Amino acid sequence: MKVETLVVATGNKHKLQEIQAIFKDVRVVSAREAGYTGDPEETGATFEENAIIKATAISKLSGCLVLADDSGRR
């Protein structure tokens, strides 16, 4: 599968730049740049579950592959 756009679920500009440097042949954008302005309710019991909640919500809206993490900050 060729990925043309990768959406990164972050508002951290430095994290976005780091990921852009890794994926040089892919258009890497923030969730906001992909048109996602919401903030899904993170109801998961673990960081992994919350990352999946974010990635799923953003992917449904954008139609793109999404990379998400959850640092545990609330």
**Is 70 an active-site residue?**
yes
Phi-psi region of 72 (alpha: psi -120 to 50; beta: other; left: phi over 0): left
- What is d(CA 67, CA 25) in angstroms, rounded to the nearest whole number? 16
Q: 49 and 68 in contact (C-beta within 8 Å)?
A: no
Q: Which residue in 25, 39, 69, 70 is the catalytic one?
A: 70
Q: Which residues are catalytic?
A: 70
